[in-house]
């Protein structure tokens, strides 16, 4: 069982969550070039290490939140406070 740390509900079974993919900023649709937009839509960093991800707590608080996952070890942690997007934000 993978325990996912929801900022509201605490550690919960991953089956209570939805994985919403890698977290990265969306370019301005009016200003972005086609290349930038394609990169945003289709390309992923896929790093070997810590990766910031979007999750949705579908069974619990029903909020979106971000966490960091280590793609080698599978370790999960809530992002450090600066820039942290908590469920209540």
Site of interaction with another protein (CB under 8 A): 1, 8-9, 12-13, 15-16, 58-63, 87-88
* Closer to another protein by Cβ: residue 59 or 71: 59
- Three-state DSSP state, 9: coil
**Shortest separation between residue 46's beta carbon and another protein, angstroms:** 29
* Closer to another protein by Cβ: residue 12 or 69: 12
* Closer to another protein by Cβ: residue 77 or 86: 86
**Shortest separation between residue 64's beta carbon and another protein, angstroms:** 12
Nearest to 67 by CA among 88, 52, 87, 46: 52
**Shortest separation between residue 85's beta carbon and another protein, angstroms:** 14
């Amino acid at each position: 069982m993978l325990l996912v740390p929801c900022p509201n509900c605490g550690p919960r079974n991953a089956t209570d969550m939805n994985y919403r993919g890698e977290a990265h900023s969306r370019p301005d649709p009016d200003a972005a070039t086609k290349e930038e937009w394609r990169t945003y839509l289709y390309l992923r960093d896929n790093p070997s290490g810590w990766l910031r991800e979007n999750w949705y707590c579908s069974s619990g608080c029903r909020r979106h939140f971000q966490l960091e996952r280590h793609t080698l070890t599978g370790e999960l942690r809530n992002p450090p406070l600066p820039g942290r997007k908590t469920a209540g934000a």
